[in-house]
Structure 1
Amino acid sequence: MSAVSRHRRPRRNPVLRRLTLAGTGAAVLALPLIGATAASAATSTATTGSSASTTLAGYPNNLDGWIRESLAIMAEKKIPGTYDGIYRNVMRESSGNPSAINLWDSNAAKGIPSKGLLQVIDPTFKTYHVDGTSFDVYDPVANITAACNYAAARYGSIDNVHGAY
């Protein structure tokens, strides 16, 4: 093959290349946040099947209300955790979608997919279920509260969880 017909990559300025990569990385990091805003707004009625603007306990029927209701239950049961810790983990795990299900990881391959806002598998949900909450893993308050109970037993608090757990 002659030198004329060979494809050569154009030389790029290393500073420009780093800036391009940094910009791409920032865009990738921002996408879940952009999607999460839309997802949490859409979940209040679409995914819960309820047109009520509040839960039975009187909290807003949206991510903010589910977290606040869970925190109230957790305070009664002395389960540690903060709003910020729960919110951070919900956004990473499900982007605020209480109907989220993971059908591709190792748990799913074993027939026990992760479900709900905090992506809890059924055996963990049953073991760490908190009295006074629904037995439905997709119920947002039950899912958050059970996941926080598990995180407290395993890591000291949901606040200490910064990745898949």
Structure 2
Amino acid sequence: MRSTHSGYTRLTKAHKFSAAALTAAGAAAVAFGAASHAVAAPAPVKPVAMNMEAFGQAQAAERADAADKAAEQARTEAAAAKRAATGKADAKVKADAKAKADADAKAKAEAKAKAEADKERAGKQAANRSTTREPVQKPAAAAPKAYGDNLEGWISQALDIMKAKGIPASYDGVKRNIMRESTGNPHAINDWDVNAVNGVPSKGLLQIIDPTFKAYHVEGTSWDIYDPVANIVASCNYAADKYGSMDNVNSAY
């Protein structure tokens, strides 16, 4: 144990023996360790020099191998792409060929159907032609209407022409004015009235002057003012224009 006196520490006898023992033991251990170390010390290691050329060759070989692998991969991918493109092209060629074959087949079928239809139609036509038919009787042409060469015939013919041309008049109205103007003489001529004085005498059944006859002449009739039918038609055409109809004329016109 430590005891203190007057501010310092005093070692007991027991402490002194312990310290001496510890010192001796430490010296012995140091001596033993030095002796042991001197006997088992390993031989020095000699450093190995690096072969740079071999190292460079190894790296070059690795790079070449990597390049070969990349090239092989690229070739594999290119071959796969080529096979895919070829497959698509083959598929398109096959599809086009099938479409053409289908179109050809359809065209042939349509041509065959048309040929059969034409054949059937021709057969029917031939059958129809071979059938004995009664000849078609054409209607006989209507015989031209006959008119008497007299006052009644002249008026009737004139009225038929006027009806076709849309000129109004009646048989009685025409006959009444004829009897007053010429008493039915188609060659009658007035050589004493004002028209005669002026050099254009009235002529024919209805006593019409030449300028009026020419102005109101109806196509299809004679240009001879003394022709009874032409004279009646032209005079009635004039009367229709001026009075509405020859039926409205009851005096000189």
TM-score normalised over the length of structure 1: 0.66
Name the residue aligned to 1:60.
Answer: 148
Identify the structure with bigger relative contact order (alpha carbons < 8 Å, sequence gap 6+): 1
Name the residue aligned to 1:108.
Answer: 196
Name the residue aligned to 2:250.
Answer: 162
Identity of aligned residues (%): 66
Name the residue aligned to 1:82.
Answer: 170
Query: Per the alignment, in what secondary structure is the counterpart of residue 192 of structure 2?
Result: coil
Distance in 2 between the 1:66 and 1:119 partners? 15
1:69-148 to 2 correspondences below 5 Å: 69-148=157-236
1:22-33 to 2 correspondences below 5 Å: none
Name the residue aligned to 1:150.
Answer: 238
Name the residue aligned to 1:52.
Answer: none
Aligned-residue offset at 1:111: 0.3
Distance in 1 between the 2:224 and 2:199 partners? 18
Runs of 5+ in structure 1 lacking a partner? 1-55
RMSD of aligned residue pairs (Cα, Å): 1.0
Name the residue aligned to 2:101.
Answer: none
Name the residue aligned to 2:55.
Answer: none
Distance in 2 between the 1:149 and 1:119 partners? 14
Residues 99-136 of structure 1 show CA distances to partners (whole Å, capped at 9, x for unaligned) of: 00000000000000000000000000000000000000
Distance in 1 between the 2:241 and 2:212 partners? 11
How many residue pairs align between the two structures?
110
Runs of 5+ in structure 2 lacking a partner? 1-143
Distance in 2 between the 1:59 and 1:71 partners? 12
Residues 38-89 of structure 1 show CA distances to partners (whole Å, capped at 9, x for unaligned) of: xxxxxxxxxxxxxxxxxx9620000000000000000000000000000000
Query: Per the alignment, in what secondary structure is the counterpart of residue 237 of structure 2?
Result: helix
Letter of the aligned partner of 1:128 in structure 2?
A: Y
Runs of 4+ in 1 over 4 A off after TM superposition: none
Distance in 1 between the 2:205 and 2:240 partners? 17
